[in-house]
Structure 1
Amino acid sequence: MGRRRWALNTEEILKQSRNFDDYDSDDEEDLRNTIGNVPVKWYDGEEHAGYDHDGNRISKPPKKSEIETFMEKMEDPDYWRKVLDVQTGCDAVLTDEQVDVINALNQGRYPTVGYNPYQPFVDLYSSQKEIHPMTNNPESKQSFTPSLDERRIVGRMVYAFKMGWIKPKKPKEAEKQIYDIWAEEDSERKTKSELARIRMHFPAPKVPLPGHSESYNPPPEYLFSEDEHKSWQETEPELRRQNFVPQKYNCLRHVPAYELFFNERFERCLDLFLAPRKQKMKLNVDPSDLLPDLPNPADLRPFPTTFAFAMKGHNAQVRCMCFEPQKSEILVSGGIDGTCRFWSIGNGRCMRVETLGSPVTSVQYCPKTDITLVAAATEDCKIHLFSSMCGDRLLNASTRDYLFSLDCGTAKNDHIQWTRDPNTGHIVLTLSNAIRQVTWHAKGDYFASVAAVRQPDSLVIHQLSKCNSQVPFSRSKGTIINVLFHPQKPHLFVSTQRHIRIYDLAKCQQVKKVLIGTRWLGCMELDPSGNNLFVGGLDRVFAWIDLQLSAKPWKTLIHHSAAIRDIAYHRRSFCIPNTFPFPSGHCVCRKLY
């Protein structure tokens, strides 16, 4: 009997296995595309949509035009049932059951049609509906007492946390998001209204940040005096500079509630709601129209227009030159060949050569008109004072007598020696560093020398009448580039790489610190009144500083193609020629307005 039953069961199993087609799904027969679970958009740029079971390409159906789509929509009654099958590219018609499922999902109901989530409850205790609970015993007091076992377990866990035996889980590192760099930023197509809404979005203006006067402990200068408080109360609310009175409290906890908080919030909401925002169109302005009109070059005359002559005589590079201050008929130049040459401006003739024996770094005429004295600095740490011996004979004789009348033995500084050359009669100053610049005071009795080192004694002021030298600074505030004397006041201009400091020599104190507007100062020049300072930088910046107006540049120009090495101010025509570095030797002349 058992064997027969086993045989019958085997036959039934074989019958069921033979009818496997009954369990096959019709949906799987329609899946002709075998691309697998990959994005269909990978085939957007291809002519086929995938491959069938035999490995052949499945061609995409031809795209319908707008007219064909419209005609199909009007003629086909089942057009609203059709959806695009992304696997094949063809339209699939939805059945009634599928339409009911979609409608149920849109309405927020269960997708199964006729499903009731609230089935009647089957009572396990009684077949009859009861209105009272099966047991109505109150909770025991023991149920409200914390469990000692749980307390011990929690205590062990807390102790394990303290000892570091139990460590929290480490946060997982964020996985790198891999994306297609060639894909579009936004693959979803937006309508014209959506694109316009994105383009025409104007964010609301931000609330202005509070200032020092709104602090609970503002500085004393922000607090109102009695007169200011009275004038603030008498002023109309719309005309007040600020709509509150600054108050001072010792600590933050003493600050009361702000009375006008709701008023300001309400006004802010009104501004956001009622104030319209509009797009401000940019003006299409030609940049050339914004540039100022340049003056006619004919209005800038007189200035050199033709090449007159060349003064040749130095055997090496010329480093410095200077005009005699009285009539500017004589030019003195110093070169690397160790000579100072005096030239006649009228014909370019070399009138005299003074040999100093070392390359000349700076040469300056004394501004006094009753003598013809020249100061020349050389690389062997010396300054030579001698007469030009050119021009008026009476002035040359008085200069020679003046030099011989000076007593060089009265020098008080041990580091600077004043000596007289017995062969030439020159007065020679021997310093500890090589001199970069020599400049005279307007009265001609004082002159200053600047060395190319960062030391306190790099700047030395010399008095010619007493043959004395002194170092004005006890410590260095940077490498000194050059110095200038004020033409009318006892002020000294000392320039470093980024700043110019003005010192009062009578009071021995700093008067002002000027911001030069350039990253590396190269030269500076004063006008005859001493109110305007002109600065040239190695970064091609030319700055005009009005000392009576501000300590910052009033006008800045960047019209040069190379670094500015020197500046000269014309005494009558208000022109400034700016020179470029060697070997270009270019010069640009600018008229000041």
Structure 2
Amino acid sequence: MKGSRSQQKRKAAALAEQEDSVVSPLETAMTALAGAGADSDAAVHSSDQAPDAGDSGDSDGGDESAEDEEDEEEEEEGDELNDESGDEDDDSELDEIDPDEWPSSSEDSEADSESDETAAARDPTVKVLRRKVPYPEIDPVYDADDSDEETTNTIGNVPKEWYEDFPHVGYSIDGKPIMKGTEGKKDQLDEFLSLQDDPNAWRSVYDDVEDKDIVLTKEELEMVKRIQKGEFPDATSNPYEDQVEWFSSQTLATPLSAAPEPKRRFVPSKWEAQRIMHIVRAIRSGRVVPGAKKPKTTDLHNQNFFDIWGDAIEPVDRGIMHIAAPKQALPHHDESYNPPEEYVPTEAEAAEWKALDAADRPKNYLPRKHENLRSVPGYDRFIQERFDRCLDLYLCPRVIKKKMNIDPESLIPKLPNPRDLLPFPTQLAITFKGHKGRIRSFSIDPTGQYMASGSDDRTVRLWDLLSGRCVNVWTFDEGVASVVWNPSKSLSLLAIVVGPKVNLVSVPGVAGPEITAATEALINHIATLQSSPTTAALCQWMRTGPAAAPVEAASDAEAPPPPTRFSAGARLVLTFDKAVTYLTWHRKGDYLSTVSPDANTRAVLIHQLTKRVTQNPFKTAKGLVQRVTFHPTKPFFFVATQRYVRVYNLASQKLATKLQPSTKWISSLAVHPQGDNVIVGTYDKRLAWFDMDLSSKPYKTLRYHKQAIRNVSFHPRYPLFASASDDGNVNVFHGMVYSDLLMNPLIVPVKTLRAHQTVDGLGVLHCEFHPTQPWIISSGADGTLKLFS
């Protein structure tokens, strides 16, 4: 057995030497020559006798051992001279040996090591062949590098949009085009079929870079689930690991530093000794008394008191502050030596520039054009410019401009959204056509069903408000200046102003028979009364008989009623000395007021129907009167002149207040239904809102029109008001008045209605709200009326 093992090890050593050692060409040639002269039979005989000698080694004793030594020597010589074919046989025999069958006892291991060392000592080129230890196969985990994760598409980080119109997606490292795949071209049908056929389709993800579908593994799916839950992707990660104490929490028996204590800790301090001696000398001289109490200071001049009347912040001495001089302006294009043609002045422009005074010239130079830089002459104004710059630096003061750090958004009032303030008129609903001239006035009856309009074409038309149908038309001698319904719901009385006359007409068919009878009875009662001398001196009350029959009807109107129906309506005429321009009713319907600006002291008159009385409240004229109106709840009377609005108390016959809108010419006036707020329209494009409980000055001044404001109006029920202007627009505002006196009115512009066309500089002449609905009607110089809902 020993010879057999030795023979195997020698073969292994020879094989290792052939595989690992580097044999020079000279050694190869010498080996070939030696092998050619040797006896090949001896090598074969030695190899054949080796197993027999091993088998009978136990019985032969010393003789066999001697033969074994001779065989070993021959085998060593034969192994050295063995050729490549012999080595291949040895390799095959060596491969047949199972490593697990090698001897594992300690004695065999020692013997093997000794034989290996002996062989290595005899031949230094011999390498020892060690047993191969089988290791487990490497399984790459999530954190390991895997060759499968390498990118096969080597086009680089190139935008895909570059190759949208090409059949390839880029180029490889070798410069060859990489063709597009078919994975990314699936339509919805292909995706549906893949979902039905491919069981892994639900966990496949398309990779745009690789142009293929990647099937997620079970571990990757678990990772996705953990990410969706807000957890860590790796299940093995622990965010709450135990704290590692770098220094032990237990007190050490010995210090970390073994440095010896310095000498200064054991030697008395020299500086402390000097300080002590200084205090001792002060005590000996009596300057310091140990244990004595400090006396309280009673000197008021040395005490600092806080000035309660002064500024809380003490002035800070900023010292000398340096302000950098402003930089000179950069040159313009016309200062170039070769400016464009549009910058070069013509001869006429140059002569005009030279004719101006030096202080009036926009620029202190005249642009000139040169062919090249060599042709540019010396600058003759260089010294003058440097001198002016020095004067600016020396004489011009420099001041730091304090900028207010204010947010611009904070200066803008925060207004609510107009959608939250509905309802208000937003769109055109009905257009009333029929008048041929400017419609200066119109009025809606208290029921909100009929509307009467007066125009410069000397006609008054009666309209059905809901259908837009013209019911009747009446013709007068002059243009109609104003048309106003009586606000009382118990009467059906219409006031029509034509020149110097005011016609009070009862229109049958508009109201019920009871209201019509009450109106006729009132007019008949007035006719029976006699006017006083004072009333007769101011105006003439005259009963003229039945109302004028309609001379024409609208084309779209129904058949006109019989004349007997209109003959039942009585008519009353008030005649004045001068033309009447405006008329207004009291809320109860018994009083009315007229305005005649040219009548001087009789410009404003107040009439009472039930007593047939006319009063002149103002003996002297205090301006050209434009508008008058009654207070809705109190005995106040508003008179608007060109620049002021005076409020009179009719009960005490005194001036209550004087409103100052700060405008040049007032055009219109309206009072809020509650009576505490007034709006004033002016010819200088402004609308002023007055809060009478607040001040005599405007609370708000609105300027949203581009032309003069002709009329303003409040809605009787809704928090709305509007203004009509010559620019053809009607602006609708939300005006909320609160019952709490501490809260100011809320004014929000909500809508601009493009109402009428401008004719001869005139636009919208009158506007008025519906009594019950959030509608507004406007009349203009174009001869139409429009209802917005």
Matching residue's letter, 1:387? S
Q: Which deviations, in whole Å up to 9, do the C-alpha atoms of 1:391-439 show, x marking residues without a partner?
A: 3232122212221122365112233110011232210001001001000
Give distance in 1, aligned partners of 2:663 and 2:467.
40
2:523 pairs, out of 389, 400, 403, with: 403
Q: In structure 2, the residue corresponding to 1:406 is in which secondary structure? A: helix
Task: Flag the structure with more relative contact order, 1 or 2, with Cα contacts below 8 A and sequence separation at least 6.
Answer: 2
Residue 446 of structure 2 corresponds to residue 301 of structure 1: no
2:718 pairs, out of 562, 573, 582, with: 573
Contact in 2 for aligned 1:498/1:521 (Cα 8 Å): yes
- Residues 474 and 190 of structure 1: CA distance in aligned 2, closer, same or farther (over 3 Å): closer
Aligned pairs for 1:97-176 (under 5 A) are none
Aligned to 1:371: 491
Residue 457 of structure 2 corresponds to residue 314 of structure 1: no
Aligned to 1:455: 600
Aligned to 1:324: 445
Aligned to 1:56: none
Aligned to 1:384: 503
Q: Which deviations, in whole Å up to 9, do the C-alpha atoms of 1:356-382 show, x marking residues without a partner?
A: 332110111111110111111111x00
Which structure shows the bigger proportion of residues in helix conformation? 2
Give distance in 2, aligned partners of 1:550 and 1:185.
59
Q: In structure 2, the residue corresponding to 1:410 is in which secondary structure? A: coil
Give distance in 1, aligned partners of 2:392 and 2:421.
63
Aligned pairs for 1:245-256 (under 5 A) are none
- Paired residues in the alignment total 332
- Residues 506 and 408 of structure 1: CA distance in aligned 2, closer, same or farther (over 3 Å): farther
- Residues 185 and 319 of structure 1: CA distance in aligned 2, closer, same or farther (over 3 Å): farther
C-alpha displacement at 1:571, in angstroms? 2.4
Aligned pairs for 1:55-454 (under 5 A) are 187=388, 189=390, 198-200=397-399, 279=400, 281-283=402-404, 290-325=411-446, 327-379=447-499, 381-389=500-508, 390-407=510-527, 409-412=529-532, 413-415=535-537, 416-424=539-547, 425-453=570-598
C-alpha displacement at 1:551, in angstroms? 1.0
- Residues 280 and 324 of structure 1: CA distance in aligned 2, closer, same or farther (over 3 Å): same
Matching residue's letter, 2:543? R
Give distance in 1, aligned partners of 2:387 and 2:659.
55
- The CA RMSD measured in Å over matched residues stands at 2.8
Matching residue's letter, 1:463? Q
Contact in 2 for aligned 1:408/1:467 (Cα 8 Å): no
Matching residue's letter, 1:299? D
Q: In structure 2, the residue corresponding to 1:484 is in which secondary structure? A: strand
Contact in 2 for aligned 1:408/1:420 (Cα 8 Å): no
- Residues 287 and 399 of structure 1: CA distance in aligned 2, closer, same or farther (over 3 Å): same
Matching residue's letter, 2:704? H
1:586 pairs, out of 709, 714, 729, with: 729
Give distance in 2, aligned partners of 1:537 and 1:183.
56
Matching residue's letter, 1:418? W
- Residues 309 and 191 of structure 1: CA distance in aligned 2, closer, same or farther (over 3 Å): closer
Q: In structure 2, the residue corresponding to 1:402 is in which secondary structure? A: helix
- Residues 408 and 437 of structure 1: CA distance in aligned 2, closer, same or farther (over 3 Å): farther
Matching residue's letter, 1:198? P
Aligned to 2:661: 516
Give distance in 1, aligned partners of 2:528 and 2:603.
22
C-alpha displacement at 1:322, in angstroms? 1.1
The worse-fitting range, judged by mean Cα deviation, of 383-392 and 524-533 is 383-392
Q: In structure 1, the residue corresponding to 2:669 is in which secondary structure? A: strand
Q: Which deviations, in whole Å up to 9, do the C-alpha atoms of 1:18-68 show, x marking residues without a partner?
A: xxxxxxxxxxxxxxxxxxxxxxxxxxx9xxxxxxxxxxxxxxxx9xxxxxx
- Residues 468 and 186 of structure 1: CA distance in aligned 2, closer, same or farther (over 3 Å): farther
Q: In structure 1, the residue corresponding to 2:429 is in which secondary structure? A: coil
Matching residue's letter, 2:616? V
Contact in 1 for aligned 2:456/2:479 (Cα 8 Å): yes
- Residues 480 and 199 of structure 1: CA distance in aligned 2, closer, same or farther (over 3 Å): same
- Residues 572 and 186 of structure 1: CA distance in aligned 2, closer, same or farther (over 3 Å): farther
Aligned to 1:474: 619
- Residues 555 and 183 of structure 1: CA distance in aligned 2, closer, same or farther (over 3 Å): farther
Q: In structure 2, the residue corresponding to 1:343 is in which secondary structure? A: strand
Matching residue's letter, 1:189? C
Q: Which deviations, in whole Å up to 9, do the C-alpha atoms of 1:188-243 show, x marking residues without a partner?
A: 72797x68x9314xxxxxxxxxxxxxxxxxxxxxxxxxxxxxxxxxxxxxxxxxxx
Q: In structure 1, the residue corresponding to 2:519 is in which secondary structure? A: helix
C-alpha displacement at 1:354, in angstroms? 3.2
Contact in 2 for aligned 1:541/1:558 (Cα 8 Å): yes
Contact in 1 for aligned 2:577/2:599 (Cα 8 Å): no
Q: In structure 2, the residue corresponding to 1:394 is in which secondary structure? A: helix
Contact in 1 for aligned 2:458/2:477 (Cα 8 Å): yes
C-alpha displacement at 1:512, in angstroms? 1.3
Between structure 1 and structure 2, the one with the greater Rg is 2
- Residues 577 and 188 of structure 1: CA distance in aligned 2, closer, same or farther (over 3 Å): closer
Give distance in 2, aligned partners of 1:191 and 1:342.
77
Contact in 1 for aligned 2:480/2:498 (Cα 8 Å): yes
Q: In structure 2, the residue corresponding to 1:438 is in which secondary structure? A: strand
Contact in 1 for aligned 2:424/2:720 (Cα 8 Å): no
C-alpha displacement at 1:289, in angstroms? 6.3
Give distance in 1, aligned partners of 2:501 and 2:643.
28
Aligned to 1:493: 638
Q: In structure 2, the residue corresponding to 1:587 is in which secondary structure? A: strand
Give distance in 1, aligned partners of 2:416 and 2:696.
29
Q: In structure 2, the residue corresponding to 1:400 is in which secondary structure? A: helix
- Identity across matched positions, percent: 34
Contact in 2 for aligned 1:487/1:528 (Cα 8 Å): yes
Matching residue's letter, 1:411? S
Contact in 1 for aligned 2:679/2:690 (Cα 8 Å): yes
Q: Any stretches of 5+ residues in structure 1 without a counterpart? A: 1-44, 46-61, 63-179, 201-278
Give distance in 2, aligned partners of 1:311 and 1:402.
32
Superposition TM-score, scaled by structure 2 size? 0.40
Matching residue's letter, 2:431? A
The worse-fitting range, judged by mean Cα deviation, of 365-374 and 355-364 is 355-364
Q: Which deviations, in whole Å up to 9, do the C-alpha atoms of 1:457-491 show, x marking residues without a partner?
A: 11111111111212111111110001011111111
